[in-house]
Amino acid sequence: MATKLVIVGGVAAGAAAATRARRLDEFADIIIFERSGYVSFASCGLPYHVGRIIPRRASLLITSPERFREWFNIDVRVRHEVLSIDRVARRVRVRDLESGREFDEPYDKLILTPGASAVVPPIDGSASRNVFVLRTIEDMDALNAYLDERPVRRVAVVGAGFIGLEATECLCQRGLEVDLIELLPQVLPPLDADLAPLVESHLRAHGVRLHLGAGLESFALENGHVAAVGTRAGRSIPTDAVLVSVGVRPNNRLARDAGLELTERGAIRVNDRLETSDPSILAAGDVIEAVHAVTGVPVSVPLAGPAARQGRLAGQRAVGFEGPPAARVAGTAIVEVFDLVVAVTGLGLQAARRAGPPCAQIIARRLHHVDYYPGAQPMTIKLVYAPDTGRLLGGQIVGGAGVDRRIDVLATALHFGGTVDDVADLDLAYAPQFGAAKDPVVVAAQIAQNERSGLIQHVDPAELEGLCRDGAQLVDARPAAAAASSGAIPGAVQIPMATLRQRLETLDRSRPVVLYCDVGYTSYLAARVLRQRGFPRVYNLAGGFRWYVARGLPVVSTG
């Protein structure tokens, strides 16, 4: 007999599950129940239609119920809400939200892909007409309608995660003033604190007013609308509209009421076959947790890529095809903010330290392709790795062109449990307009190799002042013209690399020496000279002078 497959929820996971099941079983009876009016849409594109970067709303509608029926013989019923699951009888109770009619639908296999809902803090005024979230087509339509119909000049965006930053840029593109409010002391919580200032200064340069360490406390109401946002820092920020983007919560009510096991964070618990505690029910997407590729610990990763892959696997298993276990996830994500690109994969240094095993980091500042080809853009690459084994634990990149390609290289290395040695040996494509013979990620890995082998030790710019206070000698290894044009670090002695061997006696061998240049390469050469000539404690400034300046640390003029 044909398998009766019922799927609760569409979009990435549900649609992928249904179509994979159909491709493997032409005779299965497949039904999707979707509570909203849209079964398959590009949720990641919602902010860009608000910002009119994607002008046509229809571009976001990937597949219609009609196409599901015509191409895949799948019965899609939008505006249908599944109310409950009867696990003994293997049926679900469904309500048609248009007519109000309720009915039962039997199943042999049930796949739960109800996704997650935007979290809105439960404070007075959160249900006001000018408070919005951005998760569905309906959310986007409501926000667009309000912005089109009202004299909105200023918008408060609450939450500086990936969606919050995308929305901030798109609202600015629309000509609005934006106040970005974040509870934590930095934007983009997955990004390490030393990289976040690169993003923050870029936002400020584009007119965004940042309120960091100032989470949402209250709404001030006028005529039923929010007129100001109160923060925990005691500020009142006038606004014409509010967009809340502080995270999501898994839609677990169906599973909870049916007695399925949940995780501590409220996600549906699944095994590596994506089966719930009831083998006839599978789950995928934002409503479950996945195993982290580095830590091996279950994590919530509400991203479209993992959801689609999980949905595909769930659909396959529901019609009897085994396949591999569910893949681990690295949390790879990327965002563009006013032409600055930020990408992460795996663990940052802060997360790696919380996870427990010993970890180290390196910073590499490089151009995305060779400098002699026009248009080279700088990028800052951070690699986090295990110093004992060299295993890659994570990567973070901030830059412009080429960031997407490099983060995917690091994500691939993470997926296969690669080391910095593996990354250093990668055979990557090269032409002058795309990269360099020594690609930026290869250079970053080679820096980690040098540090692991003891050829060099790095000092973070934040540690420099303390080292110098304790007697370290600070040496600027750049040519004199570089210091004259861009300034220098306070207390530095200018000894260009070209004259270093002739001026060794001007340095005290009993005291530590910290060297720097623009990006860390020339000073690395200088450090190797000193180490081999009897200087026992020699350090290179991580990321060089440019990274030091990017961190907002003090510079003196030498011109």
Q: What CATH number does the domain containing 157 carry?
A: 3.50.50.60
Give domain status of residue 241, yes or no: yes
Mark whether 474 and 407 lie in a shared domain.
no
Domain endpoint, select from 246, 281, 298: 246
Contacts of 300 (CB under 8 A, 6+ apart): 250, 265, 267, 286, 289
Backbone angles phi, psi at 232, to 5 degrees: -70, -15
**Looking at residue 102, what is its pLDDT?**
97
- Please name the residue that has the structure tokens 């398998």: 3
| Sheet containing 513-516: order of strands | 458-459, 538-541, 513-516, 473-476, 493-494
Contact 18, 113 (CB under 8 A): no
**Looking at residue 69, what is its pLDDT?**
96
Mark whether 254 and 109 lie in a shared domain.
yes
Give domain status of residue 333, yes or no: no
**Looking at residue 183, what is its pLDDT?**
95
Domain endpoint, select from 452, 484, 517: 452
Mean pLDDT for back-to-back runs of 10 residues, the chain (559 residues): 93 95 97 95 92 93 93 97 97 97 98 95 93 95 95 96 95 96 95 94 96 94 94 93 95 97 96 96 96 94 93 96 92 95 96 91 93 92 96 96 96 96 96 93 96 94 91 93 87 94 94 95 96 95 93 84
Backbone angles phi, psi at 236, to 5 degrees: -115, 120
Distance of CA 468 to the CA centre of its chain: 36
CB-side neighbour CA atoms (13 Å) of 73: 10
**Looking at residue 558, what is its pLDDT?**
76
β-strand 333-337 against 298-299: which pairing, if any? unpaired
Token readout for 465 is 């002042």
CA distance between the termini of the chain: 85
Mark whether 23 and 112 lie in a shared domain.
yes
Token readout for 434 is 């795309």
Mark whether 518 and 498 lie in a shared domain.
yes
Give domain status of residue 509, yes or no: yes
Mark whether 110 and 185 lie in a shared domain.
no
Contact 95, 81 (CB under 8 A): yes
Q: Which amino acid is at 221?
A: L
Mark whether 176 and 255 lie in a shared domain.
no
Domain endpoint, select from 452, 483, 498: 452
**Looking at residue 559, what is its pLDDT?**
63
User: Cβ of 244: how many Cβ atoms within 10 Å?
Assistant: 21
Give the C-alpha separation, 473 to 512, whole Å: 6
Give domain status of residue 380, yes or no: yes
Domain count, the chain: 4
Q: What is the dihedral of CA 296, 297, 302, 304, to 10 degrees?
A: 20
Mark whether 242 and 262 lie in a shared domain.
no
Nearest C-alpha neighbor of 314 from the set 1, 4, 5, 2: 5
Contact 450, 524 (CB under 8 A): yes
**Looking at residue 157, what is its pLDDT?**
97
Mark whether 354 and 429 lie in a shared domain.
yes
Mark whether 156 and 254 lie in a shared domain.
no
pLDDT digits (tens, 9 = 90+) for 467-511: 999 999 999 999 988 888 889 999 999 999 999 999 999 999 999
Range of the domain at 140: 131-246
What is the set of active-site residues?
Answer: 44
β-strand 281-283 against 109-112: which pairing, if any? parallel
Give domain status of residue 28, yes or no: yes
Reported in sequence order, the residue ranges of 10-130 that DSSP labels E, i.e. its strands, are 29-34, 40-41, 61-63, 75-78, 80-86, 91-96, 102-106, 109-112, 116-118
Contact 555, 487 (CB under 8 A): yes
Give the C-alpha separation, 284 to 287, whole Å: 7
Mark whether 72 and 23 lie in a shared domain.
yes
CA 18, 65, 284: angle at the middle one, nearest 5?
Answer: 30
The domain spanning residue 516 has which CATH number? 3.40.250.10
Token readout for 496 is 């260009």
Q: Which amino acid is at 474?
A: L
Give the C-alpha separation, 170 to 433, whole Å: 29
**Cα-only R_g, the chain:** 27
Mark whether 242 and 309 lie in a shared domain.
no
Mark whether 97 and 181 lie in a shared domain.
no
**Looking at residue 557, what is its pLDDT?**
85
